[in-house]
Homo-oligomer: A and B are copies of this chain.
Amino acid sequence: MGRILRVDMSRQSIRWEECPSRWAHLGGRGLSAAILSEEVTPTCHPLGRDNKLVLAPGLLAGSSAPTSGRICAGGKSPLTGTIKEANAGGTAAQLLARLGIKAIIFEGEPGQATLHLLHVAREEARLIPAGDYRGLGNYELSARLHREHGPDVAILSIGPAGEMRMSAATIAVTDRDGNPSRHAARGGLGAVMGAKGVKAIVVDAGGASLPRAQDPAAFASEVREFTRVMKEDPRTVNLAKYGTAGVISYVNRPEIASMPTRNHRAGVFARAGEISGQRIAAMAPERNIEMHACMAGCPIRCAIIFRDARRNVVTSALEFETLAMLGSNLEIADLDAIARMDRMCDDIGIDTIEIGNALGVAMDAGVLPFGNAERAEEALRAIGEGTTLGRVLGQGTVVTARVFGVARVPAVKGQGIPAWEPRTLKGIGVTYATSPMGADHTAAMAVMKGLNGESAVAASRDLQVLVALQDTCGLCIFSNAPAEVIARMLNGWMGSTYTGQDVLELGRWVLGQEIAFNRRAGISEAEDRLPSYLYEEALRVPSGNAVFDVRLPRSAEEALGL
């Protein structure tokens, strides 16, 4: 059941393989972890011929399970040196599932600096020279590819950042409007794609039929019930109304203090009201700003289609992380400027979280001023153009800090720290320290207030296991799907007989594979820690000064109960 499409970029050859039975129960992040563990030497250079890039829909992709269309990109990360999984919404996973493809694996490296696109359709897959697309941003590229290959294809692509092998480069995925607004953003997998000489993958599911559930009635009933529960969840309601930006008014409260400000030096941004979800909602009628679902069948519709004063679309998916990391963290409160920067990042194909950190560090070093949107936009243009400064910033937080001699580095395992603040929301600090991905909030959003000590460790652990499972199924973390529901949906879809405990065991197995890869890659337990400023530099909150004070287990394995 299912096929693997293996693309050797050294020989520019393509092979269809039946999915081996040992991988049949895996998809998305879990399948990627299995492939990379079996096939990639953990000490290899991430941009060399021995690394591989895996693109894998989740187990529930192509089904009517809500939010099940996320696609996983996996490989050894040039940013962190760890195994890496970054997933994105958009339409690609659902189309790949219709073609019966469990994973595309890119391997080898082109002898010269050639560029190709991979066209995948029902009858065949082929590599097409793509030298003409060299240097194109994701917006122009996807527009051209849609013109050439039809409006219904899904496109995964890299912008100039991926071509230049920047460690913060993303893989863009087109949304339902055909815009490259969804990104497998973290860890620089776009640079791995660039190193393979692949500019884009065009997925054409024309003529392919929808996959069917093994037990259609049971599956449909599970999906109906779960969709109902999800729609009633107040978290869903809030996301549907304000997008992820809705959280700003909450995290900016003095007692939460999780709105990163001036390179993570404060947790409250005086001008947060100017960039909040509520502010965007208030502007909506006048500017025709709308909420949008990135994939078919998503009942949440959390993406904000942001428009400028002339009602022209600037960007879709204007997210909290972007508003914080390119906004408050740089002391920028100009919503239009942040939206333009978000579009530029999508176009260049670069991670807004990593770049927000890199710019924050550069501002700390005096390379450019805080609070100056024009200068920040100029720096983003420099990234797209590949000036030397642009290439430094495009390599992310740690390299920017190295180049400018900065010792206070907001990063874990080489990856820049997201907006959520570990000194006040301790659970997220545990996630940053112990996730095999480095500082990644989506690995387990343990942001509940009041977690501390053992409860923070336990919450992060349980959530990391659940998220590894959700990522394996291709489910959005905003689905909040619990293990029991996932087990029942999988049983209806695949004919399995999982319990909730069984699927959590699968999540634990995925984490175990990832951490084992990291250990073989040379990532030691000494790196399962946060940077020292989080322990030493107190954040001012009403109850006193907050530092990260959770006693972390000796290793990630211990923290995750592996």
- Of the listed residues A46, A402, A409, the one surrounded by the most CB atoms of chain B closer than 10 A to its CB is A402
Report yes or no: A391 in contact with B409, Cβ–Cβ below 8 A.
no
Asked whether B405 lies within 8 Å of A526 as measured between CB atoms, the reply is no
Contact indicator per residue, chain A 55-94, by CB within 8 Å of chain B (1) or not (0): 0000000000000000000000010000000000000000
Interface-located stretch among A30-38, A163-171, A179-187, A343-351? A163-171
Any chain B CB within 8 A of the CB of A403? yes
| Contacts known (A399-B399, A520-B526); A407 close to B43, Cβ less than 8 A | no
Main secondary structure of the interface of A (DSSP, over half): loop
CB nearest neighbor in B for A43 = B526
Also in contact, A166 and B388, with CB within 8 A (given A521-B526, A522-B526, A532-B45): no
Q: Does A557 contact B (CB under 8 A)?
A: no
Quick one: copies of this chain in the complex?
2
For A523, the closest partner residue in chain B by CB is B524
Chain A 524-557 interface residues, beta-carbon cutoff 8 Å to B: 524-527, 529, 531-532
Is A402 in contact with B167, judged by CB distance below 8 angstroms?
yes
Whether A395 pairs with B403 at a CB distance below 8 angstroms is: yes
Answer whether residue A47 sits at the interface, using C-beta atoms and an 8 A cutoff: yes
Give the most central of A48, A191, A407: most B CB within 10 Å. Answer: A407
Partner pick for A43 among B164, B403, B529, CB 8 A cutoff: B529
Q: Is A42 at the interface (CB under 8 A from chain B)?
A: yes
Smallest CB-CB separation from A390: which chain B residue?
B388
A166-B405 in contact given A529-B43, A532-B45 (Cβ < 8 Å): yes
Taking the closest CB of chain B, its distance from the CB of A338, in whole angstroms, is 25
Smallest CB–CB gap between A114 and chain B, Å?
Answer: 15
CB-CB nearest in chain B for A404 = B391
Q: Which residue of B lies closest to A163 (CB)?
A: B405
Inter-chain contacts of A522 with B (CB < 8 A): 523-527
Query: Does residue A389 face the partner (Cβ distance < 8 Å to B)?
Result: yes
- B526 adjacent to A42 (CB under 8 Å): yes
Which of B43, B392, B521 lies in contact with A388, CB distance below 8 A? B392
Supplied contacts A50-B532, A392-B403, 9 more A-B pairs, CB within 8 Å:
A44-B532, A48-B407, A48-B408, A78-B402, A195-B407, A391-B404, A403-B403, A520-B526, A524-B524
Give 17 A-B contacts (CB < 8 Å), ordered by A residue: A42-B526, A43-B529, A45-B532, A47-B405, A47-B407, A48-B407, A48-B408, A164-B405, A195-B405, A195-B407, A387-B388, A388-B403, A391-B404, A391-B405, A522-B525, A523-B524, A524-B524
Closest 10 CB pairs of A and B: A165-B405, A522-B526, A47-B407, A48-B407, A522-B524, A524-B524, A45-B407, A388-B388, A388-B389, A391-B403
